[in-house]
Amino acid sequence: MTNGQGEFSRRSILGMGAAGIAGAAAPAFAHSGAGHRGHSQRLLVRGGTVLTMDPGVPDMMQGDVLIKNGKIEAVGPHLSAHGAHVIDARGKIVMPGFVDTHRHMWQGLIRNSGPNAQLLDYLNTVLFGFAPAITPDEVYTGNLVTALSAANAGITTMLDWSHIASSPEHSDAAIEGLESAGVRAVYAYGPSFGKQPPWFEDLDNPYPGDIYRLADEYFSSSDQLLTLALAAAGPEFSNVDAAEIEWNVARDVGVPITTHVGVGAPGANGLLAELASRVGLGDDTTYIHACTLSDFEFQLIADSGGKISLAVPVEMQMGHGIPPIQRSLDYGIRPSLSVDVETNQPTDMFTQMRACFALQRGLLNADNLFPEMGHVPQLLTVRDVLEFATIEGARTNGLGSKVGSLTPGKQADFILLNARALNVAPMNDPVGAVVLGMDTSNVESVFVEGRPLKWQGKMVGVNVDRLLDRAEAMRLALYARAGIPLPGV
């Protein structure tokens, strides 16, 4: 943990308690036990357009979702639930919350700081400029801002690819930020790129050995909102020897691995194949970007049951390579989606879905102009990309049995989207409305385990002004400490 002053300042940022709340007051059902473990109170979401994302549970233009003890009890038309608190969902889409499979959340203080940056610009400014200068309290606040903004945009589950393990205190602060936000998250413990691999040769480098302490201190139970993974630098951003250490440590702890591969020209050097020959690839690993991997390496991933996480706008914008949407599908891998960095990307999944949908269809439609090139695969549908942003994201994060669909028995992580807003009404195709018509303004209410994080357009229990005032002060201090000029117009 950090010193007492830091802990006090962190607790005070949110302004918890009646005197400090500047967001929405919690609705009555939130105070009566609905959505909390060990309580029998039920919540009925009535009359909405229900998108379950479960092929075994039909969608409904008008249906109900019944929640008990923070879990989905039933989905169907005209459900009876005597004594349940009722949410009127008429004119709204009820669906599982979005799932983000890779985001560097500590960067919440430096959003939009590199709008024109290519990958090398980002590495030099962010990982070798801001990262060595950032304090644990700033990491906490960055994580908190990012997590709350993601929840505000309808993302209920996210993977925090936390490459800021400059000290144990930095790692503790990142985890505390996620806890304070109340979101469901995978904390993926990663290196600080200002420190050189192989990792155990530097006695001042806590990575990756500190994961053993973190596992014991924060992740002793699987029945909690936060779970643990190892964010491996991998063979491209360190070397194969260091990556072998990372894989062995993750498997010794028993946590999944998430790693960047196939990024630009270095991703085409066969390093993943070399690593695979040493450690063996498994279904415990998510491969981020994968733009320039060889066919042989894609086959290795497919054969091992590995997952793919795409950040399509970043991959196109920063020079990673063509996002391998179709290549993933060709190898039988249903990809997931992620925001990656907010230094040049928005916080929502609507942007990610539209970019993925448009790019795959644009490339395939171009091929269709020249049929002599051979068989052209099927175009993505809006249903496909909505699955990428929900159930496939949950599976990629190792949480497919818990979230990602409105399936009885799963956790009640769901969102209400306003379908009577001017940007989508009158609504015809609900899935099309979500993927192609909506944006964050349509996200009306957000629930995790049946507990409201956002209610009727406002974050619950969060003093937003206090948080953002604190973030602004920290932003200025971080720029000064890192010696980076403030951006101007």
Among 373, 396, 419, residue at a domain's last position: 396
Number of domains in the chain: 2
Kindly give, in sequence order, each residue whose CB lies less than 8 Å from that of residue 178, ignoring residues fewer than 6 positions away. Answer: 105, 143, 147, 160, 185, 187, 226
pLDDT value of position 39: 46
Asked whether residue 361 is domain-assigned, the answer is yes
Residue 44: domain span: 28-95+406-459
Q: What is the bridge-based pairing of β-strands 42-50 and 60-68?
A: antiparallel
pLDDT band at 18 (very low <50, low <70, confident <90, very high): very low
pLDDT band at 26 (very low <50, low <70, confident <90, very high): confident
Give the helix/strand (H/E) hosting 464: helix 464-482
Asked whether residue 480 is domain-assigned, the answer is no
Asked whether residue 420 is domain-assigned, the answer is yes
- Whether residue 108 sits in one domain with residue 91: no
- Whether residue 59 sits in one domain with residue 202: no
Average pLDDT of span 337-347: 97
pLDDT band at 41 (very low <50, low <70, confident <90, very high): confident
The whole-angstrom separation of Cα 485 and Cα 429 is 47
Asked whether residue 359 is domain-assigned, the answer is yes
Contact between 63 and 95 under an 8 Å Cβ cutoff? The reply is: no
Closest CA to 139 of 165, 111, 112, 158: 165
- Whether residue 390 sits in one domain with residue 376: yes
The DSSP secondary-structure symbol of 126 reads: I
Which amino acid is it at 285? T
- Whether residue 295 sits in one domain with residue 210: yes
Assign residue 47 a region (left: φ > 0; alpha: ψ between -120 and 50; beta: otherwise). left
Neighbouring CB atoms inside 10 A of 301's CB total: 25
- Whether residue 274 sits in one domain with residue 173: yes
The whole-angstrom separation of Cα 318 and Cα 227 is 30
pLDDT value of position 35: 43
- Whether residue 102 sits in one domain with residue 84: no
The CATH number of the domain holding residue 64 is: 2.30.40.10
Among 354, 374, 396, residue at a domain's last position: 396
pLDDT value of position 371: 66
- Whether residue 186 sits in one domain with residue 46: no
Asked whether residue 17 is domain-assigned, the answer is no
pLDDT value of position 196: 73
Q: Give me the half-sphere count of Cα atoms (radius 13 Å) on the Cβ side of residue 481.
A: 14
- Whether residue 105 sits in one domain with residue 76: no
- Whether residue 152 sits in one domain with residue 59: no
Residue 1 above 70 pLDDT? no
Average pLDDT of span 290-311: 98
Asked whether residue 286 is domain-assigned, the answer is yes
The whole-angstrom separation of Cα 441 and Cα 452 is 17
The CATH number of the domain holding residue 233 is: 3.20.20.140
pLDDT value of position 277: 98
Residue 351 above 70 pLDDT? yes
pLDDT digits (tens, 9 = 90+) for 152-175: 999 999 999 999 999 999 999 999
pLDDT digits (tens, 9 = 90+) for 413-455: 999 999 999 999 999 999 999 999 999 999 999 999 999 999 9
pLDDT value of position 374: 64
How many residues would you count in the chain? 489
Higher-confidence residue of 196 and 92: namely: 92
pLDDT value of position 144: 98
Kindly give, in sequence order, each residue whose CB lies less than 8 Å from that of residue 102, ignoring residues fewer than 6 positions away. Answer: 159, 161, 258, 286, 288, 309, 311, 338, 339, 340
Among 344, 364, 396, residue at a domain's last position: 396
What values do phi and psi take at 362, rounded to 5?
-65, -45
pLDDT digits (tens, 9 = 90+) for 56-115: 999 999 999 999 999 999 999 999 988 899 999 999 999 999 999 999 999 999 999 999
pLDDT value of position 376: 75
Residue 12 above 70 pLDDT? no
pLDDT value of position 25: 73
Asked whether residue 365 is domain-assigned, the answer is yes
Average pLDDT of span 211-233: 95
For 348-403, where are the alpha helices, taking DSSP H only?
A: 350-368, 382-388, 391-396
pLDDT value of position 16: 42
Kindly give, in sequence order, each residue whose CB lies less than 8 Å from that of residue 431, ignoring residues fewer than 6 positions away. Answer: 51, 382, 383, 386
- Whether residue 382 sits in one domain with residue 345: yes
Asked whether residue 107 is domain-assigned, the answer is yes
- Whether residue 268 sits in one domain with residue 356: yes
Average pLDDT of span 251-271: 97
Average pLDDT taken over every residue of the chain: 92
Task: For residue 449, count CB atoms less than 10 angstroms from its CB and return exposed for 0-12, middle for 13-18, buried for 19 or more.
Answer: buried
pLDDT digits (tens, 9 = 90+) for 135-144: 999 999 999 9
- Whether residue 103 sits in one domain with residue 90: no
